[in-house]
Chain A
């Protein structure tokens, strides 16, 4: 974990809503694993005030491919301060064959690097886009990814089958109220399966990261009765172990 500088080498538009920044980075960040991310600061001014988590969608020839909304402005040659690597690698079950990815009301950005990793290992992947996530153009994704569009109410075609076939499920949700959204997903998965086993349904916790190196407690999540930090121990947590909808604290 250290503070380094990255350089934007190339900018491309994979779809109408997002841009891809090709970022040459310090060697320490060139071995970033699926699920890990960096905390970025693109301006020397205090605007935006806090660093922003940048989750790579791919790693090409030692360069990080970062996906950002098109509303943000970047230029080729721009240097960006990066703190990383943050978080832990996403853990897949041994012998996994079918993995279901769900993006609910948000772009599937944090799911794309795990998807590419699985495809390289000949694992079949299904990506379900729900609610506002359906606005995300998917033509740039590898053709092996099965993309399904659903609605705001967590319905999608062949839901029982896709859930039943999945060996593992990874979910990212809108950051407006992450815990509530994860609770909704958890409830729906419970309706579609007899039980949700451990190591099956994972939520990728993205919201509320101020530091990225485990000191601010903004991303604290209660897992198995203990406080864990999404930026250090996540960002993927087994939703069967996470206490969702906990009582308000003080502070």
Chain B
């Protein structure tokens, strides 16, 4: 199920799997190879990068709640120039497209950043992250500034709740795809200190809200690809976005931290690699990362002489 993003004059990218990690959940693509099958993903989306460096947020940054979390990091990064310098070797080696998430601070910085990105051919696309309080006029200017200096596909990540004016501003000014949406903003009390902490909200309950908004967006903008992001915590969640909400691809966020194997599982599923379970498939192929104990508990056979990764004995 190949997905192509971008127009002919903009070096379009092809995703062999409609699955990728959301910005800020996967580092710069340097996450541990034992945890992820990077080659099975459609693309890598980097952690958010600004033209200028960002410092980590002060004080408490994480509140874990039943069924979700609120997190505020400050998007720490050393600035685009250093990020490219530090990661260029890695990105040149990666076989799947690298999409750089650019924090849209102001039009000058966005234009400068896109000019620099144009000199780095291994960055195959840009995902422009709009501020939560951005107006549609500002969004139009930011997207225009990015599009003008970029020969690559431009994805625009929209803030949540959905605002169709902002989406239209992005589409009218050159966005090749819309990423719907950034994790919504929330505020919660830190149970340890009693202090109020602002941050972004993650959790399975976001899925119904985001899916509703993605459905509206895909009906309103049928010519633009929508990449759904928010609340995916199972293979079925991801399938719902594509089969029922009109999304072309999905991004997984916080679930990756809790259950890294889920990213592999969703990628295999949506790539069509898992339709039926092969008769002789080993449990750790079907459930990546499964151990003998879990296999026994689930009542499925476990082969202790299973082939190790990379020995070429692929059952499929």
Contacts and interface: CB of A to CB of B under 8 A. Distances in A.
Interface of A: 1-5, 7, 26, 41, 46-51, 79, 81, 83, 174-177, 179-180, 207-222, 226-227, 245-251
Contact of A176 (B192, B204, B259): B192
B114 to A, nearest CB: 20
A176 to B, nearest CB: 4
Interface string B229-266: 00001000000000000000000001011111100000
Given A210-B257, A213-B35, 19 more contacts: A1-B32, A1-B35, A46-B67, A47-B67, A49-B258, A50-B258, A79-B291, A79-B297, A176-B190, A177-B60, A208-B61, A215-B24, A216-B25, A216-B254, A222-B55, A245-B58, A246-B58, A247-B58, A251-B72
A215 B64 CA distance: 17
B66 A251 contact: no
B31 interface: yes
B159 interface: no
A5 B293 contact: yes
Given A213-B31, A215-B257, A48 B66 contact: yes
Contacts of A211: 25, 256-257
Q: List the 5 shortest-distance A-B pairs measured between CB atoms, nearest first.
A: A249-B74, A176-B193, A220-B56, A211-B257, A5-B291
A227 B27 CA distance: 13
B260 A251 contact: no
Best-surrounded residue of A7, A83, A214, A222 (most CB of chain B within 10 A)? A83
Given A48-B66, A50-B257, A249-B74, A208 B60 contact: yes
A221 to B, nearest CB: 7
Interface string B66-104: 111101111111100000000000000000000000000
A175 B190 CA distance: 10
Nearest to A1: B32
Interface residues of B, number: 56
A215 B54 contact: no
B299 interface: no
Given A3-B289, A50-B257, A249-B54, A214 B76 contact: no
Given A41-B258, A220-B76, A249-B74, A207 B58 contact: no
A1 B33 CA distance: 9
B26 interface: yes
Nearest to B233: A46
Contact of A246 (B56, B73, B77): B56
Interface string B253-292: 0101111110000000000000000000000000001110
Contacts of A83: 35, 260
Contact of A210 (B26, B59, B66, B254): B254
B119 interface: no
B75 to A, nearest CB: 4
A45 B34 CA distance: 23
Max chain A Cβ within 10 angstroms of own Cβ: one of B61, B192, B202 = B61
Contact of B58 (A5, A49, A210, A248): A248
A246 B294 contact: no
A215 B26 contact: yes
B40 interface: no
Nearest to A28: B34
B42 interface: no
A1 B289 CA distance: 12
B251 to A, nearest CB: 14
A247 B55 contact: yes
Contacts of A249: 54-58, 73-76
A174 B195 CA distance: 14
13 contacts: A3-B289, A49-B64, A49-B68, A49-B254, A177-B59, A210-B254, A211-B256, A211-B257, A215-B31, A216-B25, A216-B254, A245-B58, A251-B54
